[in-house]
Structure 1
């Protein structure tokens, strides 16, 4: 007779606990939005990866692209945890403000050079937190 019936469950629980503590990577975002700014010829791609457990943060990436269908054309503008991108507004032809709510920005690139139809442009970004 088995005196320890819960013992086999331990082998199942250990990988689950390790996965939630370390974080299992997901290949595809849980949510993707695109904001098309036709005047500037750019598209912003906002990808959100939901946390896997209560202690795991949601991750948000904001990319700018002149051709979002080509993965290598995307350039990372902002990376953060537990933040919400409320909106992106065009300030001028080559300047944009990203409005966020809450969270922590872990990476931000204020200037990015893009190429569109053979011409290059320097795009400036600013982040503003909404209350």
Structure 2
């Protein structure tokens, strides 16, 4: 399990500060998931196996100190795909495909929220 940090400061609408208990060597561009904790997930016997992470956003490290990192959400927009250098390195968007499942089995548990990021939210390094 990767180290869990906490959002300690909202610097502006683009930038947040995250603190980790242990000294971690971050690289610029490391992706960090911002989330809050949700419901407990149980197995068939009723044993708690995990706590749901309700996704808020993905940010990237732009600066780091020993235990504190500065992060921003950075959107990458594809340049003109018809220019020769970009044809070979072009990125594609992903589309969700429906699964073959019974609607009676839906739990409608949320895993992403539009709630704003706030001080105290959890943060985890994406590997």
* Structure with the largest fraction of helix: 1
Indicate whether the TM-score tops 0.5.
no
Instruction: Look at both structures and tell me which one has the larger radius of gyration over its CA atoms.
Output: 1
TM-score band, normalised by shorter chain: under 0.3
Q: Normalised by the size of structure 2, how large is the TM-score? A: 0.26
* Structure with the largest fraction of strand: 1
Q: Does 1 or 2 have the higher relative contact order (CA < 8 Å, sep 6+)?
A: 2
Q: Normalised by the size of structure 1, how large is the TM-score? A: 0.25
